[in-house]
Amino acid sequence: MNILFYLTRYPGVGGIETVTTQIVGQLALKKGHNIDVISHWQQEQKGEIYARNIYSMPNNKQWTAQENISFACDVVKSRHYDVIIYQDSYAPTEKIACHLSKEYNIPLIVFEHNSPLFIYNKRDLSSWLTLKGLLRRLLHTYLLKKEINRKIMLLNQSSRYVLLSEAYISEFCTLVGYQNEGKVTYINNPVMLQSIHSDRTKRKENILLYVGRLVVEKGVDKMLKVWAKISKGLLADWQFVIVGDGPERTQLERLSTTLQLKNIRFEGFQDPQPYYECAKLFIMMSKYEGWPLTLCEAMSQGAVPIVLNSFSAAQDIIKEGINGYLTDNEQNFPQRLLQLMNNPQQLANMSIQAVTYTKKYSISNIILQWEDLLNNCR
């Protein structure tokens, strides 16, 4: 099968780009498909790129410029694709994807890589009494309507519309006013790391771990405040390790100094696997997520997660009190962390369950779902 993946950015180091590389590698090397990628801009990416060709749009400043449309049409006409995979990143490129599908009668499969309610959670609407707050709400209403319309456009043109979690199907259908008749489905993102052996979980260290970008929506500042409450006294042998970088790093390091935090390390951008293997606990306090790779990766290496219940897919991944904890209230984090830090046997048992549960997200299992999707996309 000849397949075209269409992304905003590829290659790249973000979650969508990482998942795309994993899937393309499996489809090309293991299943024998011919895969090309077309994107608007590229980043340097470590590791192999398995696509046969990577095409770069000529105009990366104007998404839907006519020269981009013409370029994409020329690519499609010359390659005779059987299906187009649109890895939706909320960039306004849906018109090109829909045009290619309709003009050349090629099935379009849309993958939405976030929660359908992402746009509700993205903006701070807490203040509306000021002029600035009122304008923000008016802008939000406009952008929300615009986003719903683009989802409807993609849904109408697509053969399949794929979400990251079963929990997102009802949210999506309610949002766009669609009665699901099979077109809307879900495929979880894969975990590429090989699950840690159960014996290794016994040799873990007293580390609370965060892996991810240092941006406002990830709530790392809240994590620091949680650590300030629990990092004294009997827990002096625990460390909080932050792996990742971003625009908030300097501000977060200042906050750490202000709070006089001890046993905390900012590691910057690193290969996270060695940290997953060592950590006993993993923390996530994001304002919103889609299907966080770092969460599943950490669990596959035996790190027990404590996660803010801010996205529906979290309930698919975490089974309360068995392989981790979800909390609706940020104030409950210290209690949950201390409970596990002070109960090593419970923590060890939950670690084994975390490893066992995430095996269902192995690339070998997920790629079977992709194959079924491709075989039934017309």
Name the β-bridge partners of 55: 38
Angle between helices 220-230 and 249-258 (to 10 degrees): 20
Q: How far is CA 124 from CA 60, 106, 220, 250, 357, in A?
A: 29, 40, 17, 22, 35
The parts of the chain modelled with pLDDT lower than 50 are 125
Round to whole Å and give the CA distance between 226 and 261.
Answer: 11
Beta bridge partner(s), residue 211: 243
- Exposure pattern of 79-93 as b/e (b: 16+ CB <10 Å)? bebbbbbbbbbeeeb
pLDDT at 203: 79
Are residues 294 and 212 in contact, defined by beta-carbon separation less than 8 angstroms? Answer: yes
How high is the pLDDT of residue 136?
Answer: 64
State whether the Cα torsion 84-3-69-39 is positive or negative: positive
Please tell me the distance from the alpha carbon of residue 196 to that of residue 208, in angstroms, as a whole number.
Answer: 18
pLDDT computed for residue 199 by the predictor: 62
The reported pLDDT for the residue numbered 129 is 57
- What is the number of alpha carbons within 13 Å of residue 24 lying toward its C-beta? 29
Can you list the alpha helix ranges (DSSP code H) found in the chain? Answer: 15-25, 66-79, 94-103, 118-122, 131-157, 167-176, 220-230, 249-258, 273-278, 293-300, 314-317, 333-341, 344-358, 363-375
Taking all residues of the chain, what is their mean pLDDT, rounded to a whole number? 90
pLDDT for res 111: 96
Q: Are 189 and 365 a contacting pair, CB within 8 Å?
A: no
Residue type, 15: G
DSSP-derived secondary structure letter, 188: P
Can you tell me the distance from the alpha carbon of 343 to that of 349, in angstroms, rounded to the nearest whole number?
Answer: 10
DSSP state of 26: I
Question: Would you state the structure tokens that stand for residue 96, as one six-digit string?
Answer: 């090109």
154-181 tens-digit pLDDT: 999 999 999 999 999 999 999 999 987 7
Both tokens of 24, joined, read: 């393309």
124: which 2 tokens? 């701070």
Distance from C-alpha of 298 to C-alpha of 211, rounded to nearest angstrom = 9
């997102």: which residue's tokens? 168
What is residue 12's predicted lDDT score, i.e. its pLDDT? 86
Q: Are 293 and 271 in contact (CB under 8 A)?
A: no
Domains and CATH numbers, the chain: 2-190+362-375 (3.40.50.2000), 198-361 (3.40.50.2000)
DSSP 208: E
- Asked if residue 202 lies in contact with residue 349, where contact means CB atoms within 8 angstroms, the answer is no
